[in-house]
Amino acid sequence: MAFEEHKRIKILFFHHGGTIGGAPLSLLYLIQNLDQTKFEPHVVFTQPGPVVKLFEESAIGYEICPISLFHHHTLYWLKGLPGLKDFIFFGIKFFPDFFRLRQIIRKHDPDIIHLNSSTLIIAGLAAYSLKHQVVWHVREVLHDGYFKVRKRIIQFIINRCSTQIIAISKTAASRLPETPKLNVVYNGVSLEYFDRKICSSLKKELLIGNGYSLIGMIGQIYRAKGVFQFVQAARILVGKGVRAKFILVGDAPILEDHQSRIKNSIRKWLGIKYNDLLELKKMVHQYGIENDVIFLGNRTDVPNILAGLDMVVFLSGVDAFGRPIIEAGAMGKPVIALNKGSCQELVKDNVTGILLKSDEPEVVADAILGLILDPERAKKLGEAGYQMARSKFTIQKHLDAICGIYLRLAESL
């Protein structure tokens, strides 16, 4: 039956957490820019958290339904007992979560279900069991897991349960099954919101003099994001007398309730560092650079912060999209990133930024110092990054691609 043209397309989004990060912000910007005369969005979060408030402030309908997730990166695929425990816990909770999600889907009766992560296995299976059209948005480069078991399970389920698959980069797509329903759609950034003409109040807020360079890292704070190498690079530069301040924007990720109780106690018992933010602050104190490394926590004024930075450093070992890279580009700021994964698609080496062969602190420090000492080069890199953001990563390009998928699916309803 053809979809009624006057009827809004009901889309039920599922998001896999409550922490502020690239994936939920990308989803937020997508929904904020949807044509509300054509689409009727509603979001289901698997956890409460600070990002939920951002959706609430944008008057986006939502609800929270805690379920177990099939985690996608090494933070949750530790060797030994902790990782095994998660796998067992996922199995125990599978059927209760599965039937609860079926109830939610039946209640909303959406035209399309949009899953915002590969971790949402149970939601995908629940949607498939009810014969709903599923857009599966894969925002991660699939991690192998033990003996590549996780990757094979995820590939099979995504391919079987999805109507259309969206990968955030060619790198992410390369880990998914080759199929005509696979689309590569880069995340988008609003050049109106991320306006490089903004006059930043960051230095005034932090009482930093004009003679200092501001070096920023934006994103969730945990080891795999390269935060420790960033602080170690800061120590090297401060030791050389470089007049710079190092700004960390973000907070530690929120763990699921059972993880915060069980996983952290097991990690502690095994001697595994389980709170990277506390460890990082302890390192800063031990290095004696508390006045040089500044923790801002989660912020909603990222354009203001970027406007005040001289460069952005992105050292994530987790192969995701790297939203701070395109946001820095939109603000005309040069980027220093690792030469791996999706970063190779977002940064043109020595054109829009610098791609590092290693995240060794000395290598990172040398790259930062090089741009501090050569402001003209930094300016050229930033300008080229802005032009790349305008041509490749606008929110409108992103929106056109996603809405095109929705409309094609709606035609088959």
Per-residue model confidence (pLDDT) at position 263: 53
Domain with 339 in it: 202-392
Residues 242 and 371 in one domain: yes
Mean pLDDT by 10 residues, the chain (413 residues): 72 94 95 97 96 96 87 47 54 86 98 96 97 97 73 92 97 94 98 96 96 96 94 99 98 62 51 75 98 97 98 87 96 97 95 98 99 99 98 98 98 87
In a domain, 28, yes or no: yes
In a domain, 251, yes or no: yes
Per-residue model confidence (pLDDT) at position 218: 97
Cβ-based neighbours of 311, under 8 Å, separated by 6 or more: 213, 215, 216, 328, 333, 334, 335, 336, 368, 371, 378
Residues 308 and 332 in one domain: yes
Residues 401 and 330 in one domain: no
pTM (2 d.p.): 0.87
The dihedral formed by the CA atoms of 388, 391, 394 and 396, expressed in degrees to the nearest 10: 180
In a domain, 314, yes or no: yes
In a domain, 257, yes or no: yes
* 8-state DSSP, 76: G
In a domain, 197, yes or no: no
Per-residue model confidence (pLDDT) at position 151: 81
Residues 401 and 346 in one domain: no
Burial of residue 207 (CB within 10 Å: 0-12, 13-18, 19+) is exposed
Cβ-based neighbours of 283, under 8 Å, separated by 6 or more: 228, 231, 232
Q: How far apart are CA 184 and CA 187, in angstroms?
A: 10
Per-residue model confidence (pLDDT) at position 149: 76
> CATH code at 230?
3.40.50.2000
Residues 175 and 284 in one domain: no
Residues 124 and 245 in one domain: no
Per-residue model confidence (pLDDT) at position 259: 47
Residues 170 and 303 in one domain: no
Residues 365 and 402 in one domain: no
Axis crossing angle, helix 375-392 with helix 323-330, rounded to the nearest 10: 110
Q: How far apart are CA 194 and CA 133, in angstroms?
A: 34
CB crowding 61-70: b at 16 or more within 10 Å, else e: ebeeebbbbb
How many domains, in total, are found in the chain? 2
